[in-house]
Every structure is written in structure tokens, then in C-alpha cells.
């Protein structure tokens, strides 16, 4: 195939940016929006990385690579802070959505319909058994 | 270099896994798919000859982000919050249109980009005076050192932001929640075996970043994970947030960088490293950065101090 | 010759991984899925590491490969133990493996 190597990755990056945007707008739960935001970010990084390979030299351009590494670290810092805010927001009684998200169609249900949720989806953290019982 | 069928398949797989992460029904599955997506991206970086980025993506993008997401999910699930409603079908249509048009616009623009030289030659030309043989490390710490300096401050700011979310009655205390495990159980054995190995690998990664792919960020993340495993398996308590040596470790990176940068003022200008001492200076800077990054990431994962009665 | 060995061993490893994933999808409850995952996937990993070892450019690379394999097996064992215990404790299945 005579496609240069950076082309599929650049197109994948653009597709990921669009997918992340869709996920950001459509998901009601805040945790999912953080996932979508990270997908947008990594799509942009993939775009950068593909651009780094464009010039046809045998090695990749180090400047976009350094920018991507910086971006990855900043993204995780932002994600950590955002997750802390989401947990604090829920702890203060805000639920897992933002006020104003109430275009009501149906309620998004978290437990799956396939059989793959048993035993593994319960959290492995330091929850006491009584606390787990009271959730059901 | 030419693309192969593997690249096409990998790109399709990356997109599908990302779609599964964003559009699936269960949050736990979404997070697992997201971690897988991070690992597949690391493969993509390898195909694009960006080995340093592959290491960073696997460690930070897939690893630490995955832990943060799983912990947040567990805490949210324990609180059993109100469910959030799905948006109106009209919103979904508009969102889909926006997504497709942005992707298409980007894709078309990329397809018609003119050929370009890139900055490889410029970097290679000055690599000998940069103090390191790894071009990416040279760019990160020397040529674009300003970005990295600000990046360490961003990390610190995120940690401070996370700390302000703790309740007044919990502050100051040990970071995060207490972890209790059986002293001779599986977790404890895991915690005894893994951290020394991780420590060795982390230090090696920081050291080798001077001439091969690696560096302070990748090594610092592995060091952070050694500490996280030790605390999560109950072998060590989490540090107290007002501990002086902890705060020194957190500030080691930014302070070392700022000092080095201002010292450059006496030689020539801000952020200037004289080529004869550049190698030693960069090694010291990488060590300080690795300590700061390891401490900051570990504390971000532990979280703000929280008492056990919290839901 | 070494390339052929690499291809054969890696292919065998891939088959084991595929079988393990099939078990993950098809088995009814956590312990049996764990069984499929730990047995098949670790064997698959062993074959892949063995296959790739023939391409290693020196002793240092071989040692690193072995270290990766050891770490993966160790983590898989520990996490399988923990997942199994959680599955038992949360009452999803009793020790005989039948789903309650």
C-alpha cells in the first residue's frame, strides 16, 4: 500500500476529536464527560504525533513529541482535579449531573443488561459489606 | 515510511475502543475500555517512532488516569447519587452533526497539507550543545524548557486545587483514606514485592532518558506507582499533607527549574545552560523533576485527606 | 529460521489469547472466567515472549523481556486472587462455582 504512515493516524486523530466532542455533548454523567474530554485531548495528540512523522526523514520530529508529553502530563493534572471536583460536587448533594442538564428523555441506567457485570463491577475499595448491601 | 495493513487495523481498533468507552452503558466498562484505548495509543506511538511518548502514554495516559477514574467511580458509586437524564434526541443529532463536520474539516485539511521539513534538522544541529543525546529530552528540558517549567507549576496547581476540596475537619491529616489489608494476604505480598522492582525501573528510566527514550516524566510516574502500591496495599500509611519533607519534595522540581533558569541570567540569559556544564545540569534537573513528578502524581492519586466515615 | 520460529510461537500465543477471550465472553460467572483468563492468557503471554525473544538483539534485551513476563504473571496472579475473593464475598457464586 502506498499510503504514507502518518495519514491513517492523522485521520484517526481527527475522528477521535469528533467522537470525543459527541461524547462530551451527549453524555449526562460527569465522569463520562471527563472520558470524552480525554479522548478529545488524545485525538489532538495523535494528530500532532502524525504531523511529527510527515517530513520523510528516518526519525520523527522531536518538538511535537515534547509538546505531546507536556500535554499528556497537563491532561492528567486537569483530569485529577476535575475528578476531585465531581466527587466533591456529588458529596455536596449535586448528584452526578449538572443543573440545567434536564432535557428529560429517559434516565441513564448504570447496571448493564448483558451478563458481564456480576462480581467484577463492584468496587474493590475499602467499602464495608454493610455499605454494599444498602446500595441494592 | 509507508503505512501497512497493521496501521489501518490499529487505527480502526483505536476508534472502536474509544467509541465503546464513550457510548457504552456501564461506567466500569467505559473506564476499562478507556485504559485499553490508552494502551492501544501507546502502540500507535511506537509505529510513529515516538518511543518517549509511548512510554508516557502507557504510564500516565493509561495507567495513572485509569487509577484516578476507578477510584472516582468507586467513590461516586458509594454515594449512590441521583441518576442524570439522557439529553433530548435533538441534542444528540446536533452533537453528531458537529462531531462529523469537525472531523471531516480536519481530515480534509490534513489531506491537503503541503509537504514540510519539520524541525528535526534544526534540533540535530544543536544537539551536541544541549547536554543530552536524546532529542526529545533536549527539546523538553533545554530548547523548550520554558514549557516544562510552567508544566511543573501546573502540576503543583492541580494538586493544590485537589487539596482545597477536603473538608475543614479533615485538614491537615494523612492524604486520602486509610487502607486496611490483611498483613499476610495477597495484597500485602504484592506490596512487598513490587515497589522495589518499580523503584529500580523508575530510577533506570530517569537515568536512561539522557541517551535513550525515557526521562523524568516516565521514570517519575513509575516511581509514583511504587509509592501508590505501597500505600494502597496497606504497608505504609499515606503521608501527612503538612509534612515538611513531603512539601519539599513537591517543590523540588519547580524550584530547581527556576533556580537553574535564573542562574542562566548570569551566564547569558534566562533558561540558558552553558554547553560545557549542560550535561551535569540537565541530569540534576531531571532528578529533581522526577522526584517532584513522582510525589505530585502519587498525592493526586491518594487524594485530599478524608476520614473513613465519609461516604 | 529465527523469523519462522518467532512467527509460529507468536501465532500460538495469539491463539491462546483468543481462546482466553472466548472463555471470558462465554463463561457464566466470575470464577470460571478467571480460570479462562489466567490459564489461557498467561500461557499466551509466555509463547509471545518466547517468540519475541528470538528477535532480541542481545542479552540485556532478553533479560528485560524475562522481567516483563515475570511482572505480568505476578500481577495477573495477584489480581485474579483478589477478583476471585471479591466474587466469593459478594455472594455472586458459592465455592462450588454455581451462580446464585
Average pLDDT, chain C: 86
Q: Which of A97-101, B115-119, B130-134, B249-253 has the highest mean pLDDT?
A: B249-253
- Please state which of the ranges A67-76, A82-91, B14-23, B271-280 shows the lowest mean pLDDT: B271-280
- Domain B1-116 fold is 1.20.120
pTM of the full predicted structure? Answer: 0.88
What HEC string does A55-79 produce? CCCCCCCHHHHHHHHHHHHHHHHHH
pLDDT digits (tens, 9 = 90+) for B238-290: 888 888 999 999 998 899 989 888 888 887 777 778 888 888 888 899 999 99
Domains of chain A with CATH codes? 1-97 (1.10.287.3510)
* Distance in angstroms (rounded) separating the CA atoms of residues B300 and A73: 12
pLDDT at B235 over 50: yes
Tell me the average pLDDT across B175-197: 84
* pLDDT score of A116: 39
How many percent of chain B have pLDDT more than 90? 50
Average pLDDT over residues B196-218: 92
Whether the per-residue pLDDT at C99 is higher than 60: the answer is no
% of chain B beyond a pLDDT of 70: 96
Contact state of B68 with A80 under an 8 Å Cβ cutoff: yes
CA dihedral B160, B165, B168, B173 (to 10 degrees): -60
Looking at residue A129, its pLDDT comes to 43
Cβ within 8 Å of residue B68, ≥6 positions away: A76, A79, A80, A83, B300, B301
pLDDT at residue C100, as a whole number: 40
Q: What is the pLDDT of residue C97?
A: 47
The beta-carbon neighbor of B53 closest among A11, A69, A127 is A69
Among B8, B89, B177, select the one facing A8 at the smallest CB separation: B8
Q: Which of B27, B96, B119 sits opposite A110 (nearest CB)?
A: B27
Q: Is B78 on the interface with A (CB under 8 A)?
A: yes
Query: Is C83–A120 a contact, with Cβ atoms under 8 angstroms apart?
Result: yes
Residue C1 C-alpha cell reads as 529460521
B186–C81 CB contact, under 8 Å: yes
When pLDDT is cut at 50, 70 and 90, the band that residue A105 belongs to is very low
Report how far residue A14's alpha carbon sits from residue A10's, in angstroms, rounded to the nearest whole number: 6
Please state whether B214 falls in left (phi above 0), alpha (psi between -120 and 50) or beta. Answer: left
Q: Is the pLDDT of residue C94 over 70?
A: no
Distances B62 to A33, A75, B38 between C-alpha atoms, Å:
17, 12, 4
DSSP bridge pairs for B240: B174
Does A92 contact B at CB distance below 8 Å?
no
Give me the residue from B186, B194, B197 closest to C82, CB to CB. B186
Alpha carbon of B39: minimum distance to chain C alpha carbons (Å): 15
pLDDT at B124 over 90: no
- Residue A41's pLDDT band, with cuts at 50, 70 and 90, is very high
List Cβ neighbours of B264 (8 Å cut-off, separation of 6 or more).
Answer: B270, B271, B272, B273
Report the residue from A6, A79, A131 with minimal CB separation from B78.
A131
pLDDT of B79 reads: 80
- Mean of the pLDDT values across residues B11-22? 96
Query: Residues B16, A101: contact at Cβ < 8 Å?
Result: no
- For the stretch A50-78, pLDDT in tens is 988 887 777 888 999 999 999 999 999 99
Residue A136's pLDDT band, with cuts at 50, 70 and 90, is: very low
Chain B residues with CB-CB distance to A90 below 8 A: 76, 79, 81
Contact A119 C28 (CB under 8 A): no
- List the grid coordinates of B206: 530517569
Q: How many CB pairs under 8 A join A and C?
A: 25
Residues of C engaging B, defined by a Cβ cutoff of 8 Å:
67, 71, 74-75, 78, 81-82, 85
* For residues B112-130, average pLDDT: 81
Cell of B258: 527556576
Listed by number, the residues of chain A in 37-56 with a beta carbon closer than 8 Å to a beta carbon of chain B are 38-39, 42, 45-47, 49-50, 52-56
| Residue A118's pLDDT band (cuts 50, 70, 90) | very low
Cα separation, B192 vs B198, in Å, equals 11
How far, in Å, CA of B29 to CA of A116, rounded?
A: 9
**Residues of chain B positioned with their CB less than 8 A from the CB of A129:** none
Nearest CB to C30 within list A120, A129, A132: A120
Test C30 with A115 for CB contact under 8 angstroms. Answer: no
For position C96, what pLDDT does the model report?
52
Q: Does residue B188 sit at the C interface (CB-CB below 8 Å)?
A: no
B191 vs A135, more confident: B191
Q: Note the Cα B226 to chain centre separation in Å.
A: 15
Write the CA distances from B67 to A9, A24, A115, B81, integer angstroms: 27, 21, 24, 21
Range C36-49 average pLDDT = 91
Q: Which stretches of B164-270 are DSSP H helices?
A: 186-208, 216-232, 244-267
B186/C78 touch (CB, cutoff 8 Å), yes or no: yes
Report the alpha-carbon distance of residue B74 to residue B194 in Å, rounded.
24
pLDDT over 80 (residue A117): no
> What pLDDT is recorded for position A125?
41
Is the pLDDT assigned to residue B56 strictly greater than 80?
yes
Closest CB to B15: pick one of A16, A68, A127: A16
Query: Within 13 Å, how many C-alpha atoms sit on residue B66's CB side?
Result: 20
Of B275-279, C44-48, C54-58, the one with minimum mean pLDDT is B275-279
**Cβ of residue B72 closer than 8 Å to a chain C Cβ:** no
Beta bridge partners of C99: C93
- pLDDT tens, residue by residue, B131-160: 888 999 999 988 888 999 999 999 999 999
- Other Cβ atoms less than 10 A from the Cβ of C21: the count is 15
Q: What is the mean pLDDT of residues B184-204?
A: 90
B120-133 as b/e: b if 16+ CB within 10 A: beebeeebeebbbe
pLDDT at position A79: 96
Between CA A119 and CA B133 the distance in angstroms is 50
The reply to whether residue C29 touches residue A122, judged by beta carbons under 8 angstroms, is: no
What is the pLDDT, as a whole number, of residue B100? 94
Grid cell of B67 as nine digits: 487509577
Determine how many CB atoms are found less than 10 A away from the CB of residue C91.
12
Burial of B189 (0-12, 13-18, 19+ CB in 10 A): middle
- Mean pLDDT value across residues B187-200: 91
**Per-residue confidence (pLDDT) for residue B308, from 0 to 100:** 62
CB B305 within 8 A of CB B177: no
Kindly identify which residue of chain B lies nearest to residue C85, measuring between CA atoms. Answer: B186
> Which is more confidently placed, A31 or A129?
A31
- Domain extents in chain B: 1-116, 119-311
Chain A residues within an 8 Å CB radius of C30: 118-120
Q: Which residue of A has its CA nearest to B12?
A: A12
Helix (H, G, I), strand (E, B) or coil at C87: helix
Amino acid at each position: 500500500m502506498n499510503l504514507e504512515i502518518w495519514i491513517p493516524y492523522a485521520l484517526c486523530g481527527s475522528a477521535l476529536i469528533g467522537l470525543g466532542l459527541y461524547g462530551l455533548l451527549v453524555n449526562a454523567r460527569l465522569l463520562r464527560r471527563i472520558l470524552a474530554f480525554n479522548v478529545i485531548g488524545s485525538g489532538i495528540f495523535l494528530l500532532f504525533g502524525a504531523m511529527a512523522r510527515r517530513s520523510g526523514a528516518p526519525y520523527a520530529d522531536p518538538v511535537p513529541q515534547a509538546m505531546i508529553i507536556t500535554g499528556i502530563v497537563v491532561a492528567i493534572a486537569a483530569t485529577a482535579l476535575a475528578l476531585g471536583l465531581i466527587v466533591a460536587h456529588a458529596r455536596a448533594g449535586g448528584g452526578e449531573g449538572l443543573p440545567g442538564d434536564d432535557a428529560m428523555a429517559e434516565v441513564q441506567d448504570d447496571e448493564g443488561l448483558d451478563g458481564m457485570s456480576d462480581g467484577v463491577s463492584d468496587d474493590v475499595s475499602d467499602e464495608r459489606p454493610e455499605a454494599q448491601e444498602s446500595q441494592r | 515510511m509507508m503505512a501497512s495493513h497493521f496501521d489501518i487495523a490499529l487505527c480502526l481498533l483505536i476508534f472502536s475502543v474509544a467509541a465503546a468507552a464513550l457510548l457504552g452503558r456501564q461506567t466500569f466498562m467505559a473506564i476499562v475500555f478507556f485504559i485499553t484505548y490508552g494502551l492501544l495509543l501507546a502502540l500507535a506511538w511506537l509505529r510513529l517512532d515516538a518511543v518517549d511518548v509511548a512510554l508516557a502514554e502507557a504510564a500516565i495516559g493509561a495507567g495513572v488516569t485509569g487509577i484516578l477514574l476507578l477510584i472516582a467511580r468507586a467513590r461516586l458509586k458509594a454515594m449512590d447519587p441521583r441518576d442524570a437524564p439522557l439529553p433530548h434526541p435533538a441534542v444528540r443529532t446536533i452533537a453528531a452533526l458537529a462531531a462529523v463536520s469537525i472531523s471531516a474539516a480536519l481530515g480534509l485539511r490534513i489531506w491537503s497539507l503541503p509537504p514540510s521539513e519539520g524541525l528535526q534538522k534544526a534540533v540535530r544541529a544543536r544537539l551536541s550543545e544541549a547536554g543530552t543525546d536524546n532529542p526529545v529530552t533536549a527539546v523538553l528540558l533545554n530548547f523548550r524548557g520554558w514549557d516544562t517549567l510552567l508544566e511543573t507549576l501546573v502540576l503543583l496547581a492541580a494538586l493544590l486545587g485537589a487539596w482545597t476540596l477536603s473538608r475543614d475537619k479533615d485538614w491537615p491529616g494523612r492524604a486520602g483514606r486509610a487502607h486496611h489489608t490483611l498483613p499476610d494476604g495477597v495484597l500485602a505480598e504484592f506490596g512487598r514485592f513490587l515497589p522495589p522492582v518499580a523503584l529500580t525501573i523508575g530510577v533506570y528510566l530517569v537515568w536512561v532518558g539522557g541517551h535513550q527514550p525515557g526521562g523524568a516524566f516516565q521514570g517519575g510516574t513509575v516511581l509514583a506507582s511504587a509509592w501508590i502500591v505501597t500505600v494502597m496495599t496497606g504497608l505504609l500509611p499515606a503521608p501527612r499533607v503538612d509534612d515538611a519533607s513531603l512539601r519539599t519534595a513537591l517543590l523540588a522540581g519547580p524550584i530547581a527549574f527556576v533556580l537553574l533558569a535564573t542562574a542562566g541570567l548570569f551566564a547569558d540569559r534566562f533558561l540558558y545552560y552553558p554547553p560545557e556544564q549542560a550535561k551535569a545540569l540537565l541530569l540534576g534537573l531531571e532528578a529533581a523533576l522526577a522526584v517532584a513528578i513522582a510525589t505530585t502524581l502519587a498525592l493526586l492519586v491518594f487524594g485530599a485527606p478524608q476520614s473513613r466515615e465519609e461516604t | 529460521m529465527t523469523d519462522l520460529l518467532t512467527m509460529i510461537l507468536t501465532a500460538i500465543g495469539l491463539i491462546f489469547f483468543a481462546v482466553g477471550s472466548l472463555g471470558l465472553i462465554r463463561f457464566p460467572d466470575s470464577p470460571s472466567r478467571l480460570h479462562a483468563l489466567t490459564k489461557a492468557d498467561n500461557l499466551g503471554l509466555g509463547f509471545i515472549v518466547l517468540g519475541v525473544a528470538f528477535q532480541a538483539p542481545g542479552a540485556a534485551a532478553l533479560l528485560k523481556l524475562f522481567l516483563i513476563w515475570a511482572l505480568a504473571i505476578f500481577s495477573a496472579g495477584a489480581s485474579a486472587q483478589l477478583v476471585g475473593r471479591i466474587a466469593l464475598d459478594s455472594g455472586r457464586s458459592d465455592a462450588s462455582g454455581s451462580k446464585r
